[in-house]
Amino acid sequence: MSLVAVHLASVAVAVWTGLRVVDAVRTERAIEVAQQAVARFSTATREQYVHQAHTLLQADASHLAHDAEAAVLAEASLLGLEALDTLHPEDRARAHAAWEALSRGFLDDVAALGLAEGRCAATDACTTAIRSAHARLEREADAVESAARAMRTHLDALAARERARVEEALRTCGLALLALLVAAGAAAVRVTRGLEAAVVPDLATLTAVARRLGAGERAARVHPSIARTEEVRDVGHALDHMADAVERAERTAREAEARRIEAERLAALGELSAAVAHEVLNPLAAIVASTQDPVVRAEAAHAQRVVEGMLGFARGGRGEQATTLSVAGEAQAAADRLAVRCDARDVHVSVHADADPTVEAPQGAVRQVLDNLLRNALDAAPTGSRIEVRVVDDSLTVADEGPGIPDSVRARLYSPFATGRPDGTGE
């Protein structure tokens, strides 16, 4: 085999391997999108179940509107699953059927029990019917979660298969290049003994690098500039480029896996938050309503804020329509709401607007962000100090004279429920 043939064959092997790796990365991205869609469907149906359970256990219509909103979100996420080729058709059909049974069965129960009209009186027959409906609701919610779990399992298997394809391509490439390099060495020996002294060391380097790559050492490189012949330099460049492409592809796959794990963690946290809120809010409301003790009421109110914050995280801020808001106007309104607390602490808060930009966002979400920023600034500000809110161009800053955010909190500042205060909720 001539050196030209070896060069062409090595380029062909490198191109083939690169195409396999690129295809695997593309498939990994599609799998990641599908995993995120499944997580959204699971969270939406879980929230829908929470409102349905509230309706049955309280035997009234107070949560029917929330159930309708959650049902719309669940159905939208379910429709999103239908467009994903990476999901198994049987798994999609199973999830659709389970969700249909959950939604239709709940509506049938609401109609049969007369919950919307308040016709379910506190009788043994009504209580028994509600318990039966709640038990059925739990079974159907479990069926929906089982269908979502099956889709996640299928996607995990696909991801594992794609990683195996990449590893197999790398092994094949390493063996092919090793065989080509051996053939090139034999050709070089046959061409001339004089060339042997120049080529053999370079071939040994190429062979060693190919073996290291085949063994999984992704940082191995030829550094072909030290090669004595142009042909070996070309092969070395091709091998290094292939190794670079493989390393980038594997890094991309690892980052995609990390994002998938984070999305699943947040989805699980959302489900847990919704479930905890479902179990805790009603007892807290009963405590507040049944006592005049200021300490008990204050502690119960704080617990309600914590639980409502968890429920807000589970809902993801959904439900309120975006509107056009004045940033300077919303900042001034937030400062006015905090004025009484600032006066009590002898802290002066001022708003300076060099411009009046607008933003498209839900007003409740904007109010919550600004109120939390100013409350945190007031908590950190010393007595007699100042808090300054400044609106410049399209940015808003809140500055106080406090000690700043500790490094231990700053590192996890954007994680759910991160806080530096013993009584904080991470709002």
92: pLDDT strictly greater than 80 = yes
Phi, psi of 174 (to 5 degrees): -60, -45
pLDDT of residue 427: 52
Q: Per-residue pLDDT averaged across 44-67, rounded?
A: 83
Percent of residues, the chain, with pLDDT higher than 70: 73
Higher local confidence (pLDDT), 82 or 45: 45
Helix crossing, 124-191 with 193-214: angle to 10°? 170
pLDDT of residue 382: 92
* Three-state SS at 2: coil
Q: Per-residue pLDDT averaged across 136-163, rounded?
A: 87
pLDDT of residue 75: 84
Q: Per-residue pLDDT averaged across 326-345, rounded?
A: 89
Yes or no: say if 38 and 78 are a contact pair by the CB < 8 Å rule.
no
pLDDT of residue 361: 86
CA distance linking residue 126 with residue 123, whole number of Å? 5
Confidence of residue 336 (pLDDT cuts 50, 70, 90): very high
Least confident of 41-55, 153-167, 174-188: 174-188
Q: Per-residue pLDDT averaged across 175-184, rounded?
A: 68
Higher local confidence (pLDDT), 420 or 330: 330
159: pLDDT strictly greater than 60 = yes
CA distance linking residue 427 with residue 425, whole number of Å? 6
Q: Per-residue pLDDT averaged across 281-289, rounded?
A: 73
Tokens at residue 380, please? Answer: 């950190």
Percentages helix, strand, coil for the chain, rounded to the nearest 5?
Answer: 75, 5, 20
pLDDT of residue 274: 66
Helix crossing, 230-290 with 124-191: angle to 10°? 170
Yes or no: say if 41 and 77 are a contact pair by the CB < 8 Å rule.
yes
Residue 41 burial class via C-beta count within 10 angstroms: exposed 0-12, middle 13-18, buried 19 and up? buried
Confidence of residue 184 (pLDDT cuts 50, 70, 90): low
Conformational region of residue 253, where left means phi above 0, alpha means psi within -120 to 50, and beta covers everything else:
alpha
List of domains in the chain: 1-319 (no CATH), 320-427 (3.30.565.10)
Express each pLDDT in 257-267 by its tens digit.
Answer: 878 886 677 66
What distance separates the 2 farthest-apart alpha carbons in the chain?
Answer: 104
Beta bridge partners of 323: 361
C-alpha dihedral sign at 84, 88, 92, 93: positive
Higher local confidence (pLDDT), 255 or 224: 255
pLDDT of residue 422: 53
CA distance linking residue 132 with residue 118, whole number of Å? 18
Express each pLDDT in 190-219 by its tens digit.
Answer: 655 555 555 667 667 768 777 887 777 777
CA angle 162, 166, 170 (to 5 degrees): 165
C-alpha dihedral sign at 151, 154, 158, 164: positive
Mean pLDDT of the chain: 77
CA-nearest of 98, 41, 108, 64 to 271 is 41
DSSP 138-177: HHHHHHHHHHHHHHHHHHHHHHHHHHHHHHHHHHHHHHHH
Q: Per-residue pLDDT averaged across 71-79, rounded?
A: 85
Q: Per-residue pLDDT averaged across 6-24, rounded?
A: 69
Express each pLDDT in 345-395 by its tens digit.
Answer: 899 999 998 888 888 888 877 888 888 889 888 888 899 999 999 998 778
Yes or no: say if 354 and 391 are a contact pair by the CB < 8 Å rule.
yes
Tokens at residue 33, please? Answer: 């999108």
pLDDT of residue 98: 86
Long-range contacts of 66-75 (CB under 8 A, 24+ apart): 67/106, 69/318, 69/319, 70/44, 71/103, 73/44, 73/47, 73/48, 73/318, 74/41, 74/44, 74/45, 74/47, 74/48, 74/99, 74/103, 75/99
Q: Per-residue pLDDT averaged across 123-149, rounded?
A: 85
